[in-house]
Structure 1
Protein backbone atom coordinates (compact mmCIF):
# COMPACT_ATOMS: atom_id res chain seq x y z
CA UNK A 1 0.00 0.00 0.00
CA UNK A 2 1.34 3.40 -0.94
CA UNK A 3 1.73 6.30 1.48
CA UNK A 4 2.50 9.62 -0.21
CA UNK A 5 4.06 12.38 1.87
CA UNK A 6 4.08 15.96 0.66
CA UNK A 7 6.81 18.02 2.31
CA UNK A 8 9.23 20.91 1.93
CA UNK A 9 12.83 20.78 3.12
CA UNK A 10 12.45 24.13 4.91
CA UNK A 11 9.43 22.95 6.93
CA UNK A 12 10.51 22.09 10.49
CA UNK A 13 7.40 20.05 11.16
CA UNK A 14 8.05 17.89 8.08
CA UNK A 15 11.21 16.45 9.66
CA UNK A 16 9.40 16.01 12.97
CA UNK A 17 6.47 14.40 11.15
CA UNK A 18 8.85 12.02 9.39
CA UNK A 19 10.17 10.78 12.73
CA UNK A 20 6.69 10.37 14.20
CA UNK A 21 5.45 8.49 11.15
CA UNK A 22 8.52 6.25 11.28
CA UNK A 23 7.77 5.51 14.93
CA UNK A 24 4.25 4.46 13.95
CA UNK A 25 5.51 2.35 11.07
CA UNK A 26 7.86 0.47 13.40
CA UNK A 27 4.82 -0.64 15.40
CA UNK A 28 2.84 -1.65 12.31
CA UNK A 29 2.92 -5.44 11.77
CA UNK A 30 2.62 -5.16 7.99
CA UNK A 31 5.25 -2.44 7.56
CA UNK A 32 7.05 -4.39 4.81
CA UNK A 33 3.94 -3.95 2.67
CA UNK A 34 4.01 -0.15 2.94
CA UNK A 35 5.55 1.84 0.08
CA UNK A 36 6.49 5.43 0.91
CA UNK A 37 6.76 8.08 -1.78
CA UNK A 38 7.93 11.61 -1.00
CA UNK A 39 6.18 14.35 -2.94
CA UNK A 40 7.30 17.91 -3.62
CA UNK A 41 5.68 20.96 -2.05
CA UNK A 42 7.02 24.51 -1.89
CA UNK A 43 5.87 26.68 0.99
CA UNK A 44 7.35 29.75 -0.66
CA UNK A 45 8.16 29.25 -4.36
CA UNK A 46 9.31 32.86 -4.67
CA UNK A 47 11.84 32.63 -1.85
CA UNK A 48 15.29 33.90 -2.78
CA UNK A 49 18.37 32.04 -1.63
CA UNK A 50 20.13 34.41 0.79
CA UNK A 51 22.95 32.70 2.69
CA UNK A 52 23.85 35.92 4.52
CA UNK A 53 20.38 36.29 6.05
CA UNK A 54 19.40 34.44 9.22
CA UNK A 55 16.21 32.42 9.35
CA UNK A 56 14.97 34.77 12.09
CA UNK A 57 15.51 37.77 9.82
CA UNK A 58 13.70 35.99 6.98
CA UNK A 59 10.70 35.12 9.16
CA UNK A 60 10.55 38.61 10.61
CA UNK A 61 10.43 40.12 7.12
CA UNK A 62 8.10 37.52 5.60
CA UNK A 63 5.58 37.39 8.43
CA UNK A 64 5.90 40.83 9.96
CA UNK A 65 7.24 39.44 13.23
CA UNK A 66 9.83 40.99 15.49
CA UNK A 67 13.23 39.30 15.57
CA UNK A 68 12.64 38.31 19.19
CA UNK A 69 9.33 36.65 18.35
CA UNK A 70 10.87 34.81 15.39
CA UNK A 71 13.61 33.53 17.67
CA UNK A 72 11.02 32.39 20.23
CA UNK A 73 9.12 30.48 17.56
CA UNK A 74 12.28 28.74 16.39
CA UNK A 75 13.25 27.90 19.97
CA UNK A 76 9.81 26.36 20.43
CA UNK A 77 10.15 24.25 17.28
CA UNK A 78 13.65 23.22 18.35
CA UNK A 79 12.30 21.89 21.65
CA UNK A 80 9.58 19.90 19.84
CA UNK A 81 12.20 18.42 17.51
CA UNK A 82 14.31 17.38 20.49
CA UNK A 83 11.38 15.33 21.81
CA UNK A 84 11.74 12.99 18.81
CA UNK A 85 15.53 12.91 18.92
CA UNK A 86 16.28 15.60 16.34
CA UNK A 87 18.84 18.37 16.78
CA UNK A 88 17.79 21.68 15.23
CA UNK A 89 20.38 24.43 14.91
CA UNK A 90 18.08 27.15 13.61
CA UNK A 91 20.73 29.83 14.13
CA UNK A 92 22.73 28.06 11.38
CA UNK A 93 19.83 27.47 8.94
CA UNK A 94 20.43 28.94 5.47
CA UNK A 95 17.59 30.78 3.75
CA UNK A 96 17.35 28.82 0.49
CA UNK A 97 14.81 28.24 -2.26
CA UNK A 98 13.89 24.54 -2.27
CA UNK A 99 13.13 23.93 -5.96
CA UNK A 100 16.47 22.32 -6.81
CA UNK A 101 16.37 20.31 -3.59
CA UNK A 102 13.04 18.90 -4.78
CA UNK A 103 14.56 18.07 -8.17
CA UNK A 104 17.31 16.27 -6.26
CA UNK A 105 14.70 14.15 -4.44
CA UNK A 106 12.83 13.45 -7.67
CA UNK A 107 16.03 12.13 -9.26
CA UNK A 108 16.86 10.10 -6.15
CA UNK A 109 13.41 8.50 -6.32
CA UNK A 110 14.25 7.05 -9.73
CA UNK A 111 17.18 5.27 -8.05
CA UNK A 112 15.12 3.98 -5.13
CA UNK A 113 16.69 6.52 -2.78
CA UNK A 114 13.83 8.95 -2.19
CA UNK A 115 13.57 8.44 1.56
CA UNK A 116 17.34 8.64 2.01
CA UNK A 117 17.48 11.86 -0.02
CA UNK A 118 14.73 13.42 2.07
CA UNK A 119 16.50 12.46 5.30
CA UNK A 120 19.81 13.91 4.15
CA UNK A 121 18.17 17.17 3.07
CA UNK A 122 16.40 17.63 6.38
CA UNK A 123 19.59 16.97 8.33
CA UNK A 124 21.58 19.29 6.09
CA UNK A 125 19.09 22.12 6.52
CA UNK A 126 18.06 21.86 10.16
CA UNK A 127 21.09 20.31 11.83
CA UNK A 128 24.16 21.03 9.74
CA UNK A 129 23.30 24.53 8.48
CA UNK A 130 24.10 23.72 4.85
CA UNK A 131 22.84 25.62 1.82
CA UNK A 132 20.39 23.17 0.27
CA UNK A 133 20.09 25.32 -2.85
CA UNK A 134 23.80 25.01 -3.58
CA UNK A 135 24.67 22.48 -6.27
CA UNK A 136 27.85 21.32 -4.53
CA UNK A 137 25.94 20.68 -1.31
CA UNK A 138 23.38 18.61 -3.22
CA UNK A 139 26.11 16.71 -5.05
CA UNK A 140 27.80 15.83 -1.76
CA UNK A 141 24.49 14.68 -0.27
CA UNK A 142 23.84 12.58 -3.36
CA UNK A 143 27.19 10.82 -3.09
CA UNK A 144 26.46 10.07 0.57
CA UNK A 145 23.37 8.06 -0.40
CA UNK A 146 25.05 6.31 -3.33
CA UNK A 147 24.01 8.45 -6.28
CA UNK A 148 26.38 8.93 -9.19
CA UNK A 149 27.92 12.38 -8.84
CA UNK A 150 28.36 13.00 -12.57
CA UNK A 151 24.80 11.91 -13.39
CA UNK A 152 23.38 14.05 -10.59
CA UNK A 153 25.49 17.02 -11.70
CA UNK A 154 23.99 16.79 -15.19
CA UNK A 155 20.51 16.77 -13.68
CA UNK A 156 21.10 19.75 -11.40
CA UNK A 157 22.87 21.87 -14.02
CA UNK A 158 19.88 21.49 -16.34
CA UNK A 159 16.13 21.53 -15.81
CA UNK A 160 15.49 17.81 -15.47
CA UNK A 161 12.71 16.77 -13.07
CA UNK A 162 11.27 20.27 -12.95
CA UNK A 163 8.00 19.00 -14.38
CA UNK A 164 7.81 16.25 -11.77
CA UNK A 165 8.13 18.85 -9.03
CA UNK A 166 5.37 20.97 -10.56
CA UNK A 167 3.18 17.90 -11.01
CA UNK A 168 3.51 17.08 -7.31
CA UNK A 169 2.57 20.65 -6.40
CA UNK A 170 -0.47 20.37 -8.65
CA UNK A 171 -1.45 17.02 -7.12
CA UNK A 172 -1.17 18.55 -3.66
CA UNK A 173 -3.93 20.96 -4.61
CA UNK A 174 -6.04 18.10 -5.95
CA UNK A 175 -5.83 16.07 -2.73
CA UNK A 176 -6.49 19.08 -0.53
CA UNK A 177 -3.03 19.76 0.85
CA UNK A 178 -2.77 23.38 1.95
CA UNK A 179 0.26 22.85 4.13
CA UNK A 180 2.88 20.25 4.97
CA UNK A 181 3.58 17.62 6.08
CA UNK A 182 0.56 16.01 4.41
CA UNK A 183 0.22 12.24 4.39
CA UNK A 184 -2.07 10.44 1.95
CA UNK A 185 -2.71 6.75 2.49
CA UNK A 186 -3.82 4.71 -0.52
CA UNK A 187 -5.31 7.90 -2.02
CA UNK A 188 -8.25 7.41 0.36
CA UNK A 189 -7.26 8.90 3.70
CA UNK A 190 -5.23 11.95 4.65
CA UNK A 191 -3.39 12.97 7.80
CA UNK A 192 -2.31 16.59 8.03
CA UNK A 193 0.58 17.76 10.15
CA UNK A 194 3.15 16.14 12.44
CA UNK A 195 0.65 14.03 14.37
CA UNK A 196 1.50 11.70 17.23
CA UNK A 197 2.61 8.16 16.30
CA UNK A 198 -0.64 6.65 17.59
CA UNK A 199 -2.61 8.81 15.14
CA UNK A 200 -0.46 7.63 12.24
CA UNK A 201 -0.72 4.04 13.44
CA UNK A 202 -4.51 4.22 13.53
CA UNK A 203 -4.58 5.65 10.03
CA UNK A 204 -2.25 2.90 8.79
CA UNK A 205 -4.39 0.19 10.36
CA UNK A 206 -7.63 1.52 8.89
CA UNK A 207 -6.33 2.18 5.39
CA UNK A 208 -4.31 -1.04 5.20
CA UNK A 209 -7.29 -3.16 6.28
CA UNK A 210 -9.34 -1.76 3.41
CA UNK A 211 -6.44 -2.03 0.97
CA UNK A 212 -5.82 -5.66 1.95
CA UNK A 213 -9.48 -6.54 1.45
CA UNK A 214 -9.37 -4.99 -2.01
CA UNK A 215 -6.06 -6.69 -2.85
CA UNK A 216 -6.26 -10.30 -1.56
CA UNK A 217 -3.03 -12.25 -1.51
CA UNK A 218 -4.66 -15.44 -2.79
CA UNK A 219 -4.83 -16.00 -6.54
CA UNK A 220 -7.76 -17.20 -8.61
CA UNK A 221 -6.75 -20.34 -10.54
CA UNK A 222 -7.98 -19.92 -14.11
CA UNK A 223 -6.81 -23.32 -15.47
CA UNK A 224 -5.31 -26.62 -14.31
CA UNK A 225 -2.78 -28.67 -16.27
CA UNK A 226 -0.01 -31.24 -15.94
CA UNK A 227 2.18 -30.43 -12.94
CA UNK A 228 4.20 -31.82 -10.03
CA UNK A 229 3.13 -31.34 -6.41
CA UNK A 230 5.28 -30.73 -3.34
CA UNK A 231 5.28 -34.47 -2.55
CA UNK A 232 6.98 -35.26 -5.84
CA UNK A 233 3.91 -36.64 -7.54
CA UNK A 234 3.61 -35.71 -11.19
CA UNK A 235 0.63 -36.14 -13.45
Structure 2
Protein backbone atom coordinates (compact mmCIF):
# COMPACT_ATOMS: atom_id res chain seq x y z
CA UNK A 1 0.00 0.00 0.00
CA UNK A 2 1.36 3.42 -0.93
CA UNK A 3 1.38 6.44 1.32
CA UNK A 4 2.20 9.83 -0.16
CA UNK A 5 3.50 12.50 2.21
CA UNK A 6 3.66 16.16 1.23
CA UNK A 7 6.04 18.21 3.35
CA UNK A 8 8.51 21.07 3.32
CA UNK A 9 11.98 20.77 4.79
CA UNK A 10 11.52 24.18 6.41
CA UNK A 11 8.38 23.09 8.27
CA UNK A 12 8.76 22.19 11.98
CA UNK A 13 5.47 20.30 12.05
CA UNK A 14 6.55 18.24 9.03
CA UNK A 15 9.47 16.87 11.06
CA UNK A 16 7.24 16.25 14.08
CA UNK A 17 4.60 14.61 11.89
CA UNK A 18 7.22 12.38 10.29
CA UNK A 19 8.35 11.09 13.67
CA UNK A 20 4.80 10.52 14.92
CA UNK A 21 3.88 8.70 11.71
CA UNK A 22 7.00 6.52 11.98
CA UNK A 23 6.05 5.65 15.56
CA UNK A 24 2.65 4.50 14.29
CA UNK A 25 4.30 2.41 11.58
CA UNK A 26 6.32 0.56 14.24
CA UNK A 27 3.07 -0.60 15.82
CA UNK A 28 1.38 -1.39 12.50
CA UNK A 29 1.26 -5.10 11.72
CA UNK A 30 1.72 -4.65 7.96
CA UNK A 31 4.45 -2.00 7.96
CA UNK A 32 6.62 -4.18 5.71
CA UNK A 33 4.02 -3.80 2.97
CA UNK A 34 3.95 0.01 3.07
CA UNK A 35 5.65 2.14 0.42
CA UNK A 36 6.34 5.78 1.26
CA UNK A 37 6.38 8.40 -1.49
CA UNK A 38 7.83 11.72 -0.33
CA UNK A 39 6.25 14.68 -2.14
CA UNK A 40 7.59 18.22 -2.40
CA UNK A 41 5.75 21.23 -1.02
CA UNK A 42 7.30 24.70 -0.71
CA UNK A 43 5.67 26.85 1.95
CA UNK A 44 7.24 29.98 0.46
CA UNK A 45 8.64 29.43 -3.06
CA UNK A 46 9.59 33.12 -3.30
CA UNK A 47 11.66 33.12 -0.09
CA UNK A 48 15.13 34.59 -0.52
CA UNK A 49 17.68 32.84 1.67
CA UNK A 50 18.92 35.11 4.45
CA UNK A 51 21.93 33.94 6.40
CA UNK A 52 22.14 37.15 8.46
CA UNK A 53 19.09 36.30 10.60
CA UNK A 54 17.52 33.23 12.19
CA UNK A 55 14.10 31.71 11.60
CA UNK A 56 12.54 33.44 14.61
CA UNK A 57 13.73 36.88 13.51
CA UNK A 58 12.53 36.20 9.98
CA UNK A 59 9.16 35.00 11.26
CA UNK A 60 8.68 38.17 13.33
CA UNK A 61 9.66 40.36 10.40
CA UNK A 62 7.61 38.58 7.74
CA UNK A 63 4.47 38.10 9.86
CA UNK A 64 4.58 41.46 11.62
CA UNK A 65 4.01 40.03 15.10
CA UNK A 66 5.54 40.78 18.47
CA UNK A 67 8.63 38.86 19.57
CA UNK A 68 6.89 37.54 22.71
CA UNK A 69 4.08 36.01 20.64
CA UNK A 70 6.56 34.50 18.20
CA UNK A 71 8.63 33.01 21.01
CA UNK A 72 5.54 31.40 22.53
CA UNK A 73 4.69 29.82 19.19
CA UNK A 74 8.22 28.54 18.65
CA UNK A 75 8.45 27.25 22.21
CA UNK A 76 5.22 25.31 21.66
CA UNK A 77 6.64 23.70 18.51
CA UNK A 78 9.91 22.97 20.30
CA UNK A 79 8.09 21.16 23.11
CA UNK A 80 6.05 19.13 20.62
CA UNK A 81 9.30 18.19 18.91
CA UNK A 82 10.89 17.16 22.18
CA UNK A 83 7.94 14.88 22.88
CA UNK A 84 8.62 13.28 19.48
CA UNK A 85 12.34 12.83 20.26
CA UNK A 86 13.64 15.85 18.34
CA UNK A 87 15.66 18.72 19.84
CA UNK A 88 14.78 21.76 17.75
CA UNK A 89 17.24 24.64 17.67
CA UNK A 90 15.09 27.18 15.85
CA UNK A 91 17.18 30.14 16.99
CA UNK A 92 19.94 28.77 14.74
CA UNK A 93 17.64 27.78 11.87
CA UNK A 94 18.46 29.62 8.64
CA UNK A 95 15.58 31.16 6.65
CA UNK A 96 16.50 29.28 3.49
CA UNK A 97 14.67 28.59 0.24
CA UNK A 98 13.98 24.85 0.09
CA UNK A 99 13.77 24.29 -3.69
CA UNK A 100 17.33 22.98 -4.07
CA UNK A 101 16.83 20.55 -1.18
CA UNK A 102 13.61 19.23 -2.74
CA UNK A 103 15.43 18.81 -6.06
CA UNK A 104 18.17 16.79 -4.35
CA UNK A 105 15.50 14.49 -2.92
CA UNK A 106 14.02 13.94 -6.38
CA UNK A 107 17.49 13.27 -7.76
CA UNK A 108 18.09 10.78 -4.94
CA UNK A 109 14.88 8.96 -5.84
CA UNK A 110 16.52 7.94 -9.13
CA UNK A 111 19.21 6.15 -7.11
CA UNK A 112 17.19 4.44 -4.37
CA UNK A 113 15.33 5.06 -1.09
CA UNK A 114 15.38 8.61 0.27
CA UNK A 115 14.05 8.23 3.83
CA UNK A 116 17.46 8.75 5.46
CA UNK A 117 18.23 11.77 3.29
CA UNK A 118 14.84 13.30 4.08
CA UNK A 119 15.54 12.87 7.80
CA UNK A 120 19.00 14.41 7.40
CA UNK A 121 17.64 17.45 5.57
CA UNK A 122 14.99 18.10 8.21
CA UNK A 123 17.59 17.78 10.93
CA UNK A 124 19.98 20.09 9.07
CA UNK A 125 17.34 22.79 8.82
CA UNK A 126 15.60 22.53 12.18
CA UNK A 127 18.25 21.14 14.54
CA UNK A 128 21.71 21.88 13.16
CA UNK A 129 21.19 25.35 11.69
CA UNK A 130 22.59 24.49 8.25
CA UNK A 131 21.83 26.38 5.04
CA UNK A 132 19.76 23.97 2.94
CA UNK A 133 19.99 26.37 -0.02
CA UNK A 134 23.78 26.03 -0.20
CA UNK A 135 24.97 23.82 -3.06
CA UNK A 136 28.18 22.72 -1.37
CA UNK A 137 26.37 21.70 1.80
CA UNK A 138 23.81 19.73 -0.21
CA UNK A 139 26.57 18.03 -2.23
CA UNK A 140 28.36 16.90 0.94
CA UNK A 141 25.14 15.79 2.61
CA UNK A 142 24.14 13.91 -0.53
CA UNK A 143 27.51 12.17 -0.58
CA UNK A 144 26.97 11.11 3.04
CA UNK A 145 23.80 9.35 1.84
CA UNK A 146 25.08 7.49 -1.19
CA UNK A 147 25.01 10.17 -3.88
CA UNK A 148 27.95 11.40 -5.92
CA UNK A 149 28.83 14.90 -4.70
CA UNK A 150 29.99 16.04 -8.15
CA UNK A 151 26.72 14.85 -9.69
CA UNK A 152 24.74 16.75 -7.05
CA UNK A 153 26.70 19.94 -7.80
CA UNK A 154 26.16 19.55 -11.53
CA UNK A 155 22.47 18.84 -11.10
CA UNK A 156 21.94 21.87 -8.86
CA UNK A 157 23.78 24.12 -11.32
CA UNK A 158 21.04 23.23 -13.84
CA UNK A 159 17.25 23.27 -13.64
CA UNK A 160 17.03 19.48 -13.36
CA UNK A 161 14.23 18.14 -11.14
CA UNK A 162 12.59 21.54 -10.76
CA UNK A 163 9.76 20.24 -12.93
CA UNK A 164 9.27 17.25 -10.61
CA UNK A 165 9.00 19.56 -7.60
CA UNK A 166 6.41 21.68 -9.40
CA UNK A 167 4.45 18.57 -10.38
CA UNK A 168 4.25 17.46 -6.75
CA UNK A 169 2.91 20.88 -5.83
CA UNK A 170 0.39 20.85 -8.65
CA UNK A 171 -0.81 17.44 -7.49
CA UNK A 172 -1.22 18.86 -3.99
CA UNK A 173 -3.30 21.75 -5.31
CA UNK A 174 -5.48 19.36 -7.30
CA UNK A 175 -6.14 17.42 -4.10
CA UNK A 176 -6.99 20.58 -2.19
CA UNK A 177 -3.87 20.41 -0.02
CA UNK A 178 -2.93 23.87 1.22
CA UNK A 179 -0.81 23.03 4.26
CA UNK A 180 1.74 20.47 5.34
CA UNK A 181 2.42 17.87 6.49
CA UNK A 182 -0.30 16.04 4.61
CA UNK A 183 -0.53 12.26 4.37
CA UNK A 184 -2.55 10.41 1.72
CA UNK A 185 -3.03 6.69 2.39
CA UNK A 186 -4.07 4.36 -0.43
CA UNK A 187 -5.27 7.38 -2.44
CA UNK A 188 -8.37 7.50 -0.20
CA UNK A 189 -7.53 8.57 3.34
CA UNK A 190 -6.10 12.00 4.10
CA UNK A 191 -4.46 13.11 7.34
CA UNK A 192 -3.55 16.75 7.80
CA UNK A 193 -0.93 17.92 10.27
CA UNK A 194 1.30 16.40 12.92
CA UNK A 195 -1.42 14.24 14.42
CA UNK A 196 -0.95 12.04 17.51
CA UNK A 197 0.57 8.64 16.82
CA UNK A 198 -2.74 6.98 17.74
CA UNK A 199 -4.53 8.88 14.96
CA UNK A 200 -1.95 7.76 12.41
CA UNK A 201 -2.20 4.16 13.58
CA UNK A 202 -6.00 4.12 13.41
CA UNK A 203 -5.92 5.60 9.91
CA UNK A 204 -3.29 3.08 8.82
CA UNK A 205 -5.50 0.23 10.00
CA UNK A 206 -8.60 1.63 8.26
CA UNK A 207 -6.69 2.26 5.03
CA UNK A 208 -5.20 -1.24 5.14
CA UNK A 209 -8.61 -2.85 5.62
CA UNK A 210 -9.90 -0.99 2.56
CA UNK A 211 -6.76 -1.86 0.61
CA UNK A 212 -7.10 -5.57 1.40
CA UNK A 213 -10.75 -5.54 0.39
CA UNK A 214 -9.92 -3.85 -2.93
CA UNK A 215 -7.19 -6.37 -3.69
CA UNK A 216 -8.80 -9.56 -2.43
CA UNK A 217 -10.11 -10.58 -5.86
CA UNK A 218 -13.63 -11.73 -6.65
CA UNK A 219 -16.16 -12.86 -4.07
CA UNK A 220 -17.09 -16.24 -5.58
CA UNK A 221 -20.25 -18.23 -5.00
CA UNK A 222 -19.26 -21.83 -5.65
CA UNK A 223 -21.30 -24.11 -7.94
CA UNK A 224 -20.93 -26.96 -10.45
CA UNK A 225 -18.18 -26.26 -12.98
CA UNK A 226 -15.95 -27.77 -15.66
CA UNK A 227 -12.33 -26.76 -15.83
CA UNK A 228 -9.99 -26.30 -18.82
CA UNK A 229 -8.84 -29.92 -18.56
CA UNK A 230 -12.37 -31.21 -19.10
CA UNK A 231 -12.92 -32.20 -15.49
CA UNK A 232 -16.42 -31.52 -14.21
CA UNK A 233 -17.77 -31.64 -10.68
Instruction: Report the TM-score, using the length of structure 2 for normalisation.
Output: 0.91
Task: Report the equivalent of 2:221.
Answer: none
Quote how far apart the aligned CAs of 1:76 are: 1.6
Q: Deviations over 1:59-92 (max 9, x none)?
A: 1121111223222211221111000110101111
Determine if the alignment matches structure 1 residue 153 to structure 2 residue 153: yes
Determine if the alignment matches structure 1 residue 72 to structure 2 residue 72: yes
Determine if the alignment matches structure 1 residue 45 to structure 2 residue 45: yes
Say if 1:113 and 1:145, in contact at 8 Å, map to a contact too. Answer: no
Query: CA distance change for structure 1 residues 194 and 158 in 2, over 3 Å: closer, same or farther?
Result: same
Quote how far apart the aligned CAs of 1:162 are: 0.4
Give the match's secondary structure for 2:5: strand
Runs of 5+ unmatched residues, structure 2: 219-226
Task: Report the equivalent of 1:129.
Answer: 129
Quote how far apart the aligned CAs of 1:213 are: 1.9
Task: Report the equivalent of 2:201.
Answer: 201
Once residues 110 and 71 of structure 1 are traced to their aligned partners in structure 2, the CA distance between those partners, rounded to angstroms, is 40
Once residues 35 and 101 of structure 1 are traced to their aligned partners in structure 2, the CA distance between those partners, rounded to angstroms, is 22
- The root-mean-square deviation of aligned C-alpha atoms, in Å, is 1.6
The count of residues paired between Structure 1 and Structure 2 equals: 221
Task: Report the equivalent of 1:10.
Answer: 10
Deviates more, 1:172-181 or 1:108-117: 108-117
Give the match's secondary structure for 2:184: strand
Once residues 169 and 133 of structure 1 are traced to their aligned partners in structure 2, the CA distance between those partners, rounded to angstroms, is 19
Query: CA distance change for structure 1 residues 199 and 113 in 2, over 3 Å: closer, same or farther?
Result: same
Say if 1:37 and 1:114, in contact at 8 Å, map to a contact too. Answer: no
Task: Report the equivalent of 2:114.
Answer: 114
Task: Report the equivalent of 1:142.
Answer: 142
Instruction: Report the TM-score, using the length of structure 1 for normalisation.
Output: 0.90
Once residues 154 and 223 of structure 1 are traced to their aligned partners in structure 2, the CA distance between those partners, rounded to angstroms, is 59
Runs of 5+ unmatched residues, structure 1: 225-235
Quote how far apart the aligned CAs of 1:145 are: 1.0
Q: Deviations over 1:190-215 (max 9, x none)?
A: 00000011111111111111112222
